[in-house]
Structure 1
Amino acid sequence: MSGSAVAVPGGGQDAQGRPVRASVVGSGEFRLPHYKDDDVRSFTLDARAVPYSRPLPGIPEGLPTDARGTVVVSHYSAERDITYTSKGNVDCLVTGPGTATLTAVITEVSAGGPPDVGRRLGFSVHDGGRDAGGRSADRVGFSWNGVNLLPDTDAPAEEATVGTCMAPAPYAPVTKGGYTVTHADLPPKPPARSAAE
């Protein structure tokens, strides 16, 4: 299922037949390798590169990692017997062959979920295809749940702020569903426009 040779819908290909725009799409449930429980966790990702489309203070042309799309985080808590979802808008995407890292700013959280509205979260994906038994060999990672802390010797550790495109390695095995990563190299900065244009 590796998407490194798959063209992005509407994204086009270069003269060598390579995709010119990166993307990661799909939905999957996953397990935490370091923590056993009966919870059901899943991510639905639809992120597409739109380079140099988000002007920033001091960077009016934007960045090569600019992206758009959506993420949906779903978590069923067995202990609380509740499912909550969080939705967010993608703001950054960077890929390598079979891998992607993206961030999204959360815009909506259902009842019972964490107070994440306005917070940037990081996600990573390894598109590993299928194993010999036909099961997904994909993995995901994410920037909360103890992997992005600011340890302090005199105070409890705090979770650190997530910058654009920042996420840990994809450490959690996907158990159902999967993701397709389409890799495209980051494009160079476009030429400056003249005042007459």
Structure 2
Amino acid sequence: MRCLVTGPHTATLTAVITEVGPGGPPDVGRRLGFSVYDGGKDKGHSDDHVGFSWNGVNLMPVDDAAPGEAPVGTCMAPAPYAPVTKGGYTVEHAELPPAPKS
């Protein structure tokens, strides 16, 4: 199961990893979250940012022990906090259709 949600200039994606390439991390079966902020282009550089749920940002403290990684829920990703240093992203937001009348 995966979830992609957009807003103006932003997008979040969560998905369960089903395949990893040779030499990749052992994340098959794990749900991860990824977010993007499309900052547009300004004078040849990007103001885009990304956020990701792995690598120490999605932690669950347990008593006095070192915190472990918390599970990622459906349609949940952290805010885009890390600047994109090469390349960039374009987010094309689409409004939801109106609710059915009934």
TM-score (norm 2): 0.86
**Whole-Å separation in 1 of the counterparts to 2:73 and 2:97:** 21
Q: What is residue 59 of structure 2 aligned with on the other side?
A: 149
1:118 alignment partner, one of 18, 22, 29: 29
Shift of 1:189: 5.3
Unpaired runs of 5+ in structure 2? Answer: none
Say whether the 8 Å CA contact 1:102–1:164 is kept in structure 2.
no
Say whether the 8 Å CA contact 1:137–1:173 is kept in structure 2.
yes
| Higher-RCO chain (CA-CA 8 Å, sequence separation at least 6) | 2
Q: What is residue 69 of structure 2 aligned with on the other side?
A: 159
Shift of 1:165: 1.6
**Whole-Å separation in 1 of the counterparts to 2:99 and 2:17:** 28
Shift of 1:142: 0.4
Q: What is residue 94 of structure 1 aligned with on the other side?
A: 5
**Whole-Å separation in 1 of the counterparts to 2:95 and 2:6:** 7
**Whole-Å separation in 2 of the counterparts to 1:184 and 1:171:** 23
Task: Map residues 72-83 of structure 1 onto 2, 5 A cutoff.
Answer: none
Q: What is residue 81 of structure 2 aligned with on the other side?
A: 171
Relative distance call for 1:128 and 1:155 in structure 2 (3 A) is same
Unpaired runs of 5+ in structure 1? Answer: 1-89, 193-197
Larger radius of gyration: 1
**Whole-Å separation in 1 of the counterparts to 2:100 and 2:13:** 22
Shift of 1:135: 0.9
* Count of residue pairs the alignment pairs up: 102
Relative distance call for 1:121 and 1:189 in structure 2 (3 A) is farther
SS in 1 for 2:39: coil
Task: Map residues 15-164 of structure 1 onto 2, 5 A cutoff.
Answer: 91-132=2-43, 134-164=44-74
**Whole-Å separation in 1 of the counterparts to 2:26 and 2:87:** 27
Whether 2:83 is the aligned partner of 1:181: answer: no
TM-score (norm 1): 0.47
Alpha-carbon deviations, 1:141-161, whole Å to 9, x = none? 101111101012232211011
